Amino acid sequence: MGVNLRFYRILLKLSGEALGGEMRLGIDHGVVGDIAKELAEVHEKGLQLAIVVGGGNIFRGGEAAAAGMERTTGDHMGMLATVINALALQHALEKIGIPTRVQSAIHMAELCEPYIRRRAVRHLEKGRVVIFAAGTGNPYFTTDTAASLRAVEIGAECILKATNVDGVFTSDPKKDKDAKFIKELSYIEVLNRHLGVMDSTAISLCMENDLPIIVFNLRKEGNILRVVSGEEVGTLVTAEENH
């Protein structure tokens, strides 16, 4: 294992939009390739890396439900979108020599493995990147909640929540020039102030299991390595007594 790593096993939460780059819809394979190279850099230092990927660049179940689609159907379609993204990321990683497994919460044996916790942990121990697809496998739950659930199940030390800004702010820094960066937060503060780090179910699950979250800017090259090496990057969300 790399000697300078802060963690030995983490779960990275990637949005579907992160794989789309500047495109509103679809997959930007150049961006996916760049993300894969950053992941390879930390993997090669000995980090055990699991990933939960969203599907918003392809389909959003919540938006479809708002437009009149039955919610369960929309959410199932969104889960399938995450599988497409997971396969794209797997391809990019394996193209540069990083062994990768996709595990889906919805059974589709011809495409990927079913999610089995012990098998996922074994893959991580053998140095394989594991990508969890199809959310929790249930409608009405977000991929944020899936990330918290999988992180707890596999014994991850931290969730890295990738965004396109430098962390958590008092308001949207892209819309409000007076938005203030917040270096540290407690779970309760995130919930009470409606800061939108992750949905309330995901935050509550992290709080119950004392699982820290680091919100950071994926678009700054090298940030993943900086985070796992212990540099103060992004916003740390943890139990209030630990601040």
Question: For the segment 136-169, what is each residue's pLDDT rounded down to a tens digit?
Answer: 999 999 999 999 999 999 999 999 999 989 999 9
At residue 61, the pLDDT reads: 79
Helices and strands: H and E segment counts in the chain: 9, 11
- Please write down the HEC assignment for all residues of 196-234: CCCCHHHHHHHHHCCCCEEEEECCCCCHHHHHHCCCCCC
At residue 118, the pLDDT reads: 98
Quick one: tokens of 182?
């917040």
What's the pLDDT tens digit per position in 80-112?
A: 999 999 999 999 999 999 999 999 999 999 999
At residue 177, the pLDDT reads: 86
> Are 136 and 145 contacting, i.e. CB atoms less than 8 angstroms apart?
yes
Q: 9-242: CATH homologous superfamily? A: Acetylglutamate kinase-like (3.40.1160.10)
Amino acid, single-letter form, for residue 209: N
At residue 243, the pLDDT reads: 46
Decide the pairing of beta strands 235-238 and 213-217: antiparallel
At residue 94, the pLDDT reads: 98
HSE, CB side, 13 Å, CA atoms: give it for residue 90: 20
Q: CA–CA separation, 201 vs 213, rounded Å?
A: 14
HSE, CB side, 13 Å, CA atoms: give it for residue 109: 0
At residue 58, the pLDDT reads: 94
* Residue segments in the chain with a per-residue pLDDT below the cut of 70: 1-3, 241-243
Element (H, E) at 80: helix 71-95
Decide the pairing of beta strands 9-14 and 48-53: parallel
Given the structure tokens 């493995």, which residue do they identify?
A: 113
Given the structure tokens 């938005």, which residue do they identify?
A: 179
pTM over 0.85: yes
SS3 181: strand
Q: CA–CA separation, 47 vs 1, rounded Å?
A: 7
